[in-house]
Chains A and B, each alone.
Chain A
Amino acid sequence: MREWMQEKGEQFREHQRDGPNYVTGYQDKPFPSNPLFVSEPVLSEESREEIWRKVVQEGEAIKSVSANFGVDMRRVAAVVRLKEVEKAWEREGKKLATPYARAVMSMLPKKTLSKYREFEPINEIHVHSYTQQQLFLPTSESRHFTREDAAKAFGDRILPADKRVPHPELIALEKELLAGTSPEEAQAAFEKAAMESEVAAAEKDQKRRQQEEEQTTRVPASRFEFRFKEINVDDGGKDGRSRRGTGWRYGVPFYDRRRGEVKIPTKVE
């Protein structure tokens, strides 16, 4: 080992250049025996700032930022969320871990946003477990068998790929382009549709919160706030043992605090 350390290992002691330095010698393969894991580039510092600027300052829809730069929608939202925290820390005068950030970014592969080269595939759908088995469906030779028919064949409640993609607006855009609409017009229509879908989603969320708020009665006490909700006793089902029932029910064991039960929370809100 000492020999290896002196000959080959020494180059890994201090990180000198900008960019990754893996044992394989390749830029994107950290594990010699696993070529199937790729160290994929991260968004550069400027790209994160750019995304934040587009969404927060210019008020663009997350969907259109995602489509224009080829960054996953969830990533766009996460970048904005993290940037907001960073800005808040700056305003508060909290110390950022800048030297650490600089060092880590110099060790990682980076990619800067561009309109012509996507950062990651954005229109991905999960492979549905129903579609992972072979299926023989006898049908006539002349039948025009589309994706929708395939979805129906695999199961009653499976949506076709066209409805499962995260960016159905992009498909509409391409369809308009095929129909002969000018690229500018199609792009404008896409931006509009993206904004509309975002507004609709926000409204839906708002409505849900409002509904929830209407159902709760808040009673402030000295240390706590008591929140009462309307509960229907029939939620417990016929035998009162349904999972949807609320709280402890007579004759139904409720093991949440028993010794040996897993008490790790399953979600944090």
Chain B
Amino acid sequence: MKLRRTLRFHGLKKPRVRQTWNKYNLYNLANDRPALNTIRPQTRTFFQQKWAAKRLARGYHGEHIKERAWERMFDRRLLSVVNMEPAYMAKYDGSEQASGRGQGTGMDNELLERQRGVDKWARERGEKKTPYMQMAFAPMERRLDIAVFRALFASSARQARQFCVHGAVKVNGKRMKYPGYLLNPGDMFQVDPERVLFATGAKKEPSAGASDAVEPAAEAPEAEASSESEAPASEAEPAADEVTTESADANSPSPEDAAKAEQKELKALRDRVKTFLKTSFGDLSAKQKQALRALAKDIKTAMSKTRRGGDEVDTLSTLFSQLEVETKPPKDSEKYDPDAVDDEGLTRSERERLSELLAEEAENPYDPDKPYATPWRPRPFMAPFAFIPRYLEVNQKICSAVYLRHPVARRGKAEVPSPWGEMVNELAFNWYLRRR
């Protein structure tokens, strides 16, 4: 299917709120007055109002779905629910509403008020009527791609659609390549965790992934010069020359070639070893420190060797992760003496801290092969868009969710996540009602 173009998708002049976690979208969402003002109910005809409202609403609700497809999905029957309190159902059979010649006298009982939604809690929250009009775009929420976006597995509805098309989404354990699949209540959908981490994670630094992008054939003489200029520094003792190496690296000319990229990667790895040493200095045993220092030195040697090529980076980073795994958790024999020092020279609390650190590392490791920044962290500006509607039950650990039921309206709230209030949704609903 040919998708709508995305020119000025997050434009600031004619702002639209979209189904994305984009920074510009956040601004447009926080400042949605200009968009709302396009409706101008005082001065425009009803047709114009409906048109403007429909345009706003469709800009958010499945803008990548063709108008004709949405018109087919649209349903004027809007779902709502009422809670029947068991205490009320047990005590009354409904005839109390007809008491007093159909006036319903003697209804000032707390139980009855709660059932009718006129108790003081409901009044405080201003919950009076059921906002049916907010359910205008409820059929959209049944679509697989929108549900994937709602479950916070993709950073936009379009990305969620791409995940479906690329075969990363399963429904009830079977690959579902149609983003337009309408979920049935009880359907479980799973998204490949790697895709989810990519979609929701922070962007990778451009330097880290550069080694794959450039070809080794494009080696320039300057690169050799720069790496040679570093070679003498790397032969000096490891502690003192950190600053000089870095400055040399920073001052050297930066032609885009493989050696340079690999050096950068090596440098990142070395920095990481260093920070690991620094942050957990007290927690490490002498042996571990020695091993880490040896590794740092190896990295330096490798950095000076990069002009000859080779997969030094991979071997070294595996070495580092092995080293991390090999630092073992404490033994049980010394459990009851907090100040006891084991054969590696660590007290109990130190060992605990170390194992904690290691567990954290193992869970969220540094891995330059991933397409997102590692260790994984959420992308910026994600929190203001993070909510999960009640018709989904999500397990984030396995990147799976169950579509429990269709979204419904209940007194005072509607389950369809929409940036627009009743005026816009009502007008949009009327626009689509017109044709049927």
List residues of chain A with CB under 8 Å of any chain B CB: 1, 4-5, 8-9, 12-15, 20-23, 30-40, 42-43, 48, 72, 74-75, 78-79, 81-83, 85-86, 89, 95-101, 103-105, 107-108, 120-121, 123-127, 129, 141, 143-148, 150, 161-162, 165, 167, 170-175, 177-178, 264-269
Contact = CB atoms under 8 A, between A and B. Distances in A.
Interface centre among B193, B396, B405 (most CB of A within 10 A): B396
A82 B417 contact: no
B413 A268 contact: no
A98 B397 contact: yes
B184 interface: yes
B226 interface: no
Contact of A96 (B152, B185, B200, B398): B398
8 tightest A-B CB contacts, nearest first: A174-B90, A101-B396, A147-B94, A39-B387, A78-B402, A82-B395, A107-B386, A170-B86
A268 B172 contact: yes
Contact of B418 (A34, A124, A269): A34
Interface in B192-206: 193, 196-197, 200-201
Contacts of A150: 94
Contacts of B341: none
B364 A99 contact: yes
Nearest to B187: A268
A226 B87 CA distance: 54
A121 B83 contact: yes
A161 B389 CA distance: 26
Interface stretch (B232-240, B305-313, B374-382): B374-382
B176 interface: yes
A192 B309 CA distance: 73
Contact of B82 (A21, A124, A174, A267): A124
A74 B185 contact: yes
Interface residues of B, number: 92
Contacts of A171: 86, 89-90
A99 B405 contact: no
B90 A178 contact: yes
18 contacts: A30-B387, A36-B414, A38-B413, A72-B404, A81-B188, A85-B395, A97-B399, A98-B363, A100-B201, A103-B382, A104-B152, A124-B408, A126-B81, A145-B98, A146-B94, A265-B181, A266-B184, A268-B181
Nearest to A103: B378
A220 to B, nearest CB: 22
Nearest to B385: A30
Contact of A21 (B152, B171, B384): B384
Contact of B396 (A9, A83, A104, A123): A104
Contacts of B399: 97, 100
Contacts of A120: 390
A95 B27 CA distance: 36
B62 interface: no
A13 B381 contact: yes
A269 to B, nearest CB: 7
A78 B393 contact: yes
